[in-house]
Amino acid sequence: MNSCRYPIIKALMDHGEPVCITLCEEEGSTSDFLYCELVHMAREGESFLMEHQRCRPGDYILGISENGPADYYLKSRRYKDMKTAQNAVNSLPRIKKGFKSLRIEPLKDNEGIFDVLLLYLKPESAMKIIQAYAYHYGEGITSKSIGAASICGDCTARPLEEGIGISYGCKGSRKHSGYANEEVPVGISYELVKTIEEGLKNIPATFD
């Protein structure tokens, strides 16, 4: 294990450790915590091999369950009617099933390969991630969010399909996992992490 991998990306986080998410074929455990709580706990140094967790929308988005959370969303008064709630569910990014568990661990404990790197950043640092991407490709990222399914959807499922996901958070993750009000979560696919690290070496400082 190499705790010095991606030092510039690591330095963007003011507190805690970047979190590696890996889709695994190993048997995992059922957690009494939400996925977003487990990710935040991994930021503080803990590791988990999770097969199920207690957030219904999270189970759907992570490919654990096939039952969409439209009725749950409607009962929680997030949307005005069932049609709108179902539209919201249909708009969510989602992992296709094909794994048994999710390994959730701090970067320092990861052995080299993962699927998504998840960060908690202040806006300026999140901006630098976007600029590092643009340094290589000359274009911006697509960042979509409906204020729901932040850590599981925007920052885990979306990067698997689109490379990067930046979110403003959601009610569940901000209420239960405790990241700071001024932080935005960011997910980067494994394939892009080295590219972003290299871009961060080359972009100009914010206040040059």
Q: For the chain, give every domain's residue range.
A: 7-202
**Model confidence pLDDT, tens digit, residues 88-135:** 999 999 998 889 999 999 999 998 899 999 999 999 999 999 999 999
Q: Is the pTM of this model over 0.85?
A: yes
Report the DSSP beta bridge partners of residue 116. Answer: 21, 189
Q: Which helix (H) or strand (E) holds 123?
A: helix 123-137
Question: Dmax of the chain from CA atoms?
Answer: 51
**Model confidence pLDDT, tens digit, residues 24-42:** 999 999 999 999 999 999 9
Segment 178-195 mean pLDDT: 95
**Which tokens hold the place of 113?**
């390969």
